Structure 1
Amino acid sequence: MVKAIGTVFSSLSHLIHQFYLFPCRTLEAFWDFSRCYFYALAFWSLFCAKFLHLYAHIHSLPPSKLVAWGITFYFQDVVILLLLRVFAQKSHTRSRLRVALDVLVVVPFSLIVSVMAAANFSVYVFTGAEIHWRQAKSFTGDTAAIRTLLTGLTGFLIGEVLLSMIAVISARPIHTLSGGILHVLAWPFQWLLPRLRPYVKRPLQRLRKRNQQSALPDPEIYERIALEDDYLNDSSDDDESDFLIGAPAGGSSQELGRVTERTLPRALMLAAFCLFVVLRLCRPSDPMYWYLSGSLPMASLFEGGHHESPVNVEGIPSHYGYLNAASSLRPPPAFGWMPSEAAPGFEDWNKSDTYALHYNSEIAPLHISNLDQPVLEPVRRALADGHVKIKHVVLLKLESARADIFPLRKDSFMFERIAESWKDKVIPEDALQRIANLTPTAEYLTGFPTGFDDGNTSQPEKKPYGGLSAKNAYTTSTYTLKSLAGTLCGVTPLVADFNREWEHHIYQPCLPHVFNMLSQQPGITKETDDFAKWPFHSVWMQSVTEGYDNQDKLTPVLGFEDKKTKEIIESPDAKHPVKGEEVNYYGYADTELEDYIRDAIDNAERDHERLFLTHLTGTTHHPWGLPGDEYSQILGSQNGQNEDLNRYLNAVGFVDAWLATILGILQEKGVANETLVVMAGDHGLSLPNDGGITPYDNPHVGNFHVPIVFAHPQLPPVEISAPVMSDQIVPSIIDLLIESSSLSETTTPVARDIRSLYEGQSLIRPLIQEKDGKQDWQFTVMNTGGSWLSVRSAAKPQFRLVIPLVNDVEWRFSDLNEDPNEDRPVSRFSLLDLAETIRKKYDQEVLHWLWDAAYVSNWWVGENWHRYRYVPGK
């Protein structure tokens, strides 16, 4: 063993010494060995990446266009590979400097494109979406984001190894074939140059006679220099006998050379290449063709780009012409209760800024108010009794919460998906018992029956907790941090990639700002037992990091100064040391906050403060880690997506139990009957539908449909079946505080004025889907924010349109009545192509809805930017 190690060490020392003495000779040896391999690596990386790219968008082009122009999508890749092959040649006449230059071009290029191809493969397998390289820079300086990316390391390594193995096996044939093609392409020049020689030689001779002092070399010398390249001579490829992989020279290389020497094969190959070029030149200039044609190394430079207008609606008819010059921004209304110095969240009322504009719901062209409607009758009766009092408000933002698992119902798609994993779709009794007991707290809070037998539930004797539960609720954004702004501020998030809200103008006061403003009104004091006169105190809690994508900057902008996050609870001076290990790459299990929630309630009761506690859960985030890695078997098969789904459902059960713990704490502290508990998903998860482990660039409806619940034990159970959005939570909370007489005499009129500011309708009143020909349009900013926008109308909620905001994603339409799980959405890169497909499949009513949705969205995106005072590209 020692002898073998010594031999290896001696060999390495010898190689290092040789490189030190003869660096150029070593470089040439390395090049002779690796030029075929690295060229093949680049070849397979580019072509596999393009195949994946086209596969991901195969249904986005009409078949006729795909057949006509499909081959031209490889044009950039072919040109790049032909140029790279020039650098990957072997020529004994080249200088060592030229060899070094070739190495410096081919090797780094091949490694870079192979890394990009493997990374794209990994992301596509795990998320169902390709990498948008223009967004990649947002991850480089973010530690939490890098930890997120590392979860795909296994897939990346598998992709890289596969590319390397294929390159090793096929190195010589690929290198030889490419050389033969270049040899054929050089044939016309070989034929043409000798015939042009006389015409070039005579002018040069005259020029030489005129200027004897600076005589030029004989033009024949130039010709010989040019023809020294091994693709312009009579051999189809160079001598590669020193390459370690493949047959010796004289095999396939010589056979290909003999073929390319014959006139007919040469002519056929050249004609095919010319046809390829002609097709590319004749291809229409369309952004979708440019995107599909983009070669992998060019994607990071030229990918995407905004349309000239936010939404490309050129050439479509519309009845919304009045939107062209419309705006919802006006000088803020004058309120007598507003302090002379603008408070946080109310900066638009700063008297020193004479140009400040604020969203005005009265003139907003798409706004429909329901504040003139009476409170829902069951709620009105409960409020009339005087038993509904709201001292504290707890808002729970539930990570990756699908509506069909809150609770998990027997007639849902999720249950069918679980059944499919078992043999003959029959779930064993013990597994059925686990499924029935997975979400009892959600069933208790919503009052939605799950369909399981009472004997299988852990809380069959409990009546519903009480409150309002929405069955058809969508999130304002499928990106968590943007969703927070929508839920807490009653706005639709900024149409821009990633968390940019914190550095722009969030155009409505968030709930902490509202409560802070109420606390500044006359008569608010801690020196009383009447909680309606107590000031509010807002607290933010999460057991995961706030370092991801500038969340630590967003939370204070939302109005939270008192925070309990991973960074705080794991610090040495934390009041309650963490009890367990981190469960995912973001942080700890949600249960680490149990003592902090107790403390918050105790402090509020002691100090005569009204608690507004917001808690973002994190355990249901990928990879769905649980304390102790304790998982029950819910799915029958644990292969592939089923393993992920089993982990996800276990995490859902864990969070359901955590919600029960929170309700228990409220009961323990004696504040349950005076606490409004609001729950809303930040986004769903399409994992059981298409295997997506994240909503990143995934337009599937499973990522949009979330639970929204207003729970209070003194309210009757009320099911809301109308389509709603999470931006309706803020006005609904304020409305409920007003109507339950939970505010003082001085703060109630203030709350009424603030309630009127918001664009969302109140959930405790009848919801209006359409009024005076105006539909209630509902927008969702898709993860990560700047590529796609989803829109639906409450008047016709079965239709969904996903709209591209950049040139490299598609239009997508689905009819949820026909296709509730979106197994067959219609995708096209062009709105006109999408409209033509819909025209053939549906009636004119659907086509008109499509036009209206596109036109309204075009206006709304620009309006969204104006509200946030955001300029794209800055």
Structure 2
Amino acid sequence: MSVSSATVSWTPSQRYICEVRWDAATSVGNDPEGRKLMLSGLRSFLGAATVLLLLSWVCSSTIWVIASNLLSPVFSTTSAVEVEETFQLDHRRQSPRKQRLVRIWTLCAVTVTVGLWLLRPQVPYSHMSGALPFTLFEALRLKSAKPHPLGEQDFPLPQLIGEEYWEAPRGHFKGWAPGGDESIDTSGRPEWASVSLPHGFERWEERPEPVHNSDDANGQDEEKPRPTSYYKPANDPLRITNLDQTVVEPIAQAIKAHDIPINHVFLVMMESARKDIFPFKRDSHLYQEILSSYHNQVPDIIQQINSKLSQLTPIAEQLTGESSGFPDSGNRSAALWKNSAEFGMGGINVNGILTGSSLSFKSAVMNHCGVSPIPVDFMDEVTAKIYQPCIMQIFDLFNRLKENSTASHGSHMGVNDLQERNWTSVFLQSITGLYDDQDILNNQMGFKKAIYREEIERHRAKHYHAGMEEINYFGYAEREVYPYLRDIVDEAMKNKERLFLSHFTSTTHHPWSTPSDFHDEQYFADDSLMDKHEDMNNYLNTVRYVDGWLGDILQVLDDTGIANETLVVLVGDHGQAFLEDSPVSGTYENGHISNFRIPLVFRHPLLPQIQITANATSMSVVPTILDLLVQTKSLNDKDSTAALDLINEYEGQSLIRPYLATHNGRQAWNFGIINAGGTMLSVGSAAVPYRLILPLTEDFEFVFSNLDTDPDELHPLRGWSAQKLITRVKSKYGEKAGQWVDEAEKVGRWWVAERKRLWNFEE
């Protein structure tokens, strides 16, 4: 979830400026669950307020005298001696000449101060000079920050979408001709759209022709409703598809050699999951930070540290097939899950994935629906129409296709054939479902059932028990939903249903607390915890807790006998920056790379364990799930036809095929919305290692990094305008890098406007 009402802004001079973003405070404060988040810092606030009150009481008399001496010559001809006598201070009376000098210099100081304030550059100092009451009142008036101009809707690189690059439709491919609506017909309804379509498929519904009525009293046409925008892959100038590529060889061989059924799909979205800690590796930047906290790095100390860190993410090691590099990593507790897959098998680990948003629920929309969220603050997606069908709605479509089939019409014939079974979709988490209207969003995305904190804490809940321990302001630790997980799986098997289960972990969210019966380790040196490492140390303990919980989930699949027929997708919602990574911690208005690198694993015991590198976003999750279902023949003919057609509707590429970084001179662009959504945008490309933080308001800098030479973004380039940044990039990295920044800035602004159009969002 990762949003707060206050943030620390970072300036080029490497100084911290604490500024409260009151627009965020009012938005979060209007949410009952959000107020709990804001009050999580109450102890620190009260402590700081107490210190300030004591200091002001002690210093008030001295400050009054100093201010009186400075200002009395300006506003009065009376000597300051009277004021001094009031406070019984023994100072000599100033001469009239000295009083005039004091008055002149004071007036000069006031004039210079006011002049500098009036003449200060608007960028970046406007947000730094607002007094508390005024900035608060501005937020209450719901006035947003001044945006950078978005420019025209026309695609900014027209030379790449000329007619010579257009592609004709073939098979399920819709063709590609941006601006060429007349040459490619995309209006036809596919055969699968003849059934009663579920929510999310509105653009395939049959619509009557618009009625024009000119017979009214004024002889004018009736006012027609505003047309709705829909995504059309043939008209998307950024779309690059790899569906014409063959499936990567190891997967293709495995599918050819034996059956790989996918009868159930589990999607586990992991809160604040950083790729560099999934699994934790010995050669990482964070490992060096831990070592550096121990000033006397004697061999015995290093060995103890390595022993602890080797037990940090053992489940992640097994799932990804990546080694942590610690010698003791194989000595795992007997209580932990053991991978039952044969050697060399286990599924697909994808490296290079970035989140599409560092705000959790915007990321959830991308992971479940294959769309980019709206680049505006907070969750307008809750009330907007999602411009693609979500995976749950696609499974509902498969159910309706079966209902329409003559083979199963009016009976339960075919339920023993796994392909003919109906799907059910369930959402499960141990924390509140009310924050940011998550329950409404889940319903809109198509979940048939959802279990949240609000249900499991009821006294009449099936598995309620005394002593349920809240670990943070959102709710309980994950293991409180373990019996519900077992029930969901058992019920699906009993009803002979195919299960889509989505589960969201939460323990790795601030304040990074673990249950009282969980043993916390100390990874950093004792004397460093109160410095800057306390939060990271707590976070690492929550990572170890959630790693064990992932093993519990997989053990349920083993115990119920469905492991070999279940695809488990593990994906982070976003990362989490700490002071060990960047000058600013947290995700709010922080574009640092540690907030964006996330793990992505497609786990199946019968798939080969392979490593895929793709500089992509989690927008590829839905197309990859559909592609795997089709390629493994886990769908019947009708469902497969619909799935093949729908895969070609999504923007993301399939990750079981070679990922195309470029096509006909075009780049596969990646975009990431920076929490809270409307102020900054991360722009990258699969074709180059460059990354641009694009400000959408005038309060923030342009930031450029080269992830090849600076993978942890320790030394990014900055500029308060695109042109200044381009000049610096050219000077350090060359002409082509500077040109890329220019194109990224233009494409990013076009993308922001285009997302708002697709979401039918009105400012």
Same fold (TM over 0.5): yes
Q: Distance in 1 between matches of 2:420 and 2:471?
A: 42
Do the aligned partners of residues 665 and 651 (structure 1) sit closer, same or farther apart at CA in structure 2, a change above 3 Å counting? same
Residue 622 in 1 paired to residue 510 in 2?
yes
- Structure 2 match to 1:441: 315
Q: Distance in 2 between matches of 1:618 and 1:768?
A: 34
- Structure 1 match to 2:247: 375
Residue 473 in 1 paired to residue 353 in 2?
yes
Contact 1:310 1:861 in 2 (8 A): no
- Structure 1 match to 2:216: none
Q: Provide the secondary structure at the position in 2 that maps to 1:614.
A: strand
Residue 347 in 1 paired to residue 239 in 2?
no
Do the aligned partners of residues 494 and 237 (structure 1) sit closer, same or farther apart at CA in structure 2, a change above 3 Å counting? farther
Contact 1:179 1:237 in 2 (8 A): no
Contact 1:478 1:704 in 2 (8 A): yes
- Structure 1 match to 2:3: none
- Structure 1 match to 2:383: 503
| TM-aligned CA deviation for residue 340 of structure 1 | 5.6
Residue 709 of structure 2 aligns with an amino acid whose one-letter code is E
Q: Distance in 2 between matches of 1:295 and 1:581?
A: 42
What does residue range 156-305 of structure 1 map to in structure 2 within 5 Å?
Answer: 156-185=45-74, 231-236=75-80, 239=83, 248-251=87-90, 262-283=99-120, 286-302=122-138, 305=144
Contact 1:686 1:695 in 2 (8 A): yes
| TM-aligned CA deviation for residue 721 of structure 1 | 1.6
Q: Distance in 1 between matches of 2:658 and 2:503?
A: 29
Residue 295 of structure 1 aligns with an amino acid whose one-letter code is A
Contact 1:788 1:804 in 2 (8 A): yes
Aligned match for 2:746, one of 840, 843, 855: 855
Contact 2:229 2:757 in 1 (8 A): no
| TM-aligned CA deviation for residue 241 of structure 1 | 6.9
Aligned match for 1:493, one of 360, 373, 393: 373
Q: Distance in 1 between matches of 2:565 and 2:49?
A: 58
Greater helix fraction, Structure 1 or Structure 2: 1
Deviations 1:54-99 (A, max 9, x none): x9443179xxxxxxxxxxxxxxxxxxxxxxxxxxxxxxxxxxxxxx
Deviations 1:289-324 (A, max 9, x none): 32333333332345784556555899xx97457899
Q: Distance in 2 between matches of 1:327 and 1:507?
A: 20
- Structure 2 match to 1:96: none
What does residue range 430-829 of structure 1 map to in structure 2 within 5 Å?
Answer: 430-453=304-327, 456-458=330-332, 463=343, 466-522=346-402, 523=405, 526-527=412-413, 528-578=415-465, 580-628=468-516, 630-637=519-526, 638-687=529-578, 688-690=580-582, 694-796=586-688, 798-829=689-720
| Structure showing greater Rg | 1
The size of the alignment, in residue pairs, is 700
Aligned match for 1:58, one of 11, 14, 36: 11
| TM-aligned CA deviation for residue 664 of structure 1 | 0.9
Q: Provide the secondary structure at the position in 2 that maps to 1:627.
A: coil
Unaligned 5+ residue runs, structure 2?
A: 1-5, 163-176, 211-226
Do the aligned partners of residues 815 and 425 (structure 1) sit closer, same or farther apart at CA in structure 2, a change above 3 Å counting? farther
Residue 293 of structure 1 aligns with an amino acid whose one-letter code is S
TM-score, normalized by length of structure 2? 0.85
Residue 539 of structure 1 aligns with an amino acid whose one-letter code is V
Do the aligned partners of residues 746 and 323 (structure 1) sit closer, same or farther apart at CA in structure 2, a change above 3 Å counting? closer
Q: Distance in 2 between matches of 1:161 and 1:327?
A: 63
Residue 750 of structure 1 aligns with an amino acid whose one-letter code is A
Do the aligned partners of residues 615 and 129 (structure 1) sit closer, same or farther apart at CA in structure 2, a change above 3 Å counting? farther
| TM-aligned CA deviation for residue 250 of structure 1 | 4.5
Do the aligned partners of residues 237 and 588 (structure 1) sit closer, same or farther apart at CA in structure 2, a change above 3 Å counting? farther
Query: How high is the sequence identity, in percent, across the aligned residues?
Result: 34
Q: Distance in 2 between matches of 1:310 and 1:727?
A: 27
Q: Distance in 1 between matches of 2:107 and 2:19?
A: 35
Q: Distance in 1 between matches of 2:532 and 2:652?
A: 37
- Structure 1 match to 2:282: 410
Q: Provide the secondary structure at the position in 1 that maps to 2:537.
A: helix
Q: Provide the secondary structure at the position in 1 that maps to 2:401.
A: coil
Q: Distance in 1 between matches of 2:152 and 2:234?
A: 27
Q: Provide the secondary structure at the position in 2 that maps to 1:487.
A: helix
Aligned match for 2:237, one of 334, 340, 365: 365
What does residue range 840-851 of structure 1 map to in structure 2 within 5 Å?
Answer: 840-851=731-742
Do the aligned partners of residues 691 and 322 (structure 1) sit closer, same or farther apart at CA in structure 2, a change above 3 Å counting? closer
My pick for the range that moved more, 586-595 or 833-842, is 833-842
Deviations 1:657-679 (A, max 9, x none): 11111111101111000000000
Deviations 1:727-750 (A, max 9, x none): 100000001100110001121101
| TM-aligned CA deviation for residue 141 of structure 1 | 2.7
Q: Distance in 2 between matches of 1:740 and 1:405?
A: 31
- Structure 2 match to 1:398: 270
Contact 2:10 2:583 in 1 (8 A): no
What does residue range 24-35 of structure 1 map to in structure 2 within 5 Å?
Answer: none
Residue 851 of structure 1 aligns with an amino acid whose one-letter code is D
Q: Distance in 2 between matches of 1:326 and 1:171?
A: 68
Do the aligned partners of residues 819 and 322 (structure 1) sit closer, same or farther apart at CA in structure 2, a change above 3 Å counting? closer
Q: Provide the secondary structure at the position in 2 that maps to 1:474.
A: coil
Deviations 1:114-169 (A, max 9, x none): xxxxxxxxxx99xx974321121112232221111122123212322232233223
Q: Distance in 2 between matches of 1:602 and 1:660?
A: 18
Structure number with higher relative contact order (C-alpha < 8 Å, ≥ 6 residues apart) = 2
Q: Distance in 2 between matches of 1:260 and 1:283?
A: 34
Residue 759 of structure 1 aligns with an amino acid whose one-letter code is E
Contact 1:437 1:458 in 2 (8 A): yes
- Structure 2 match to 1:14: none
Unaligned 5+ residue runs, structure 1?
A: 1-51, 62-123, 186-230, 243-247
Do the aligned partners of residues 337 and 455 (structure 1) sit closer, same or farther apart at CA in structure 2, a change above 3 Å counting? closer
Q: Distance in 1 between matches of 2:448 and 2:130?
A: 47
Contact 1:472 1:723 in 2 (8 A): yes
Residue 138 of structure 1 aligns with an amino acid whose one-letter code is S
Residue 574 of structure 1 aligns with an amino acid whose one-letter code is A
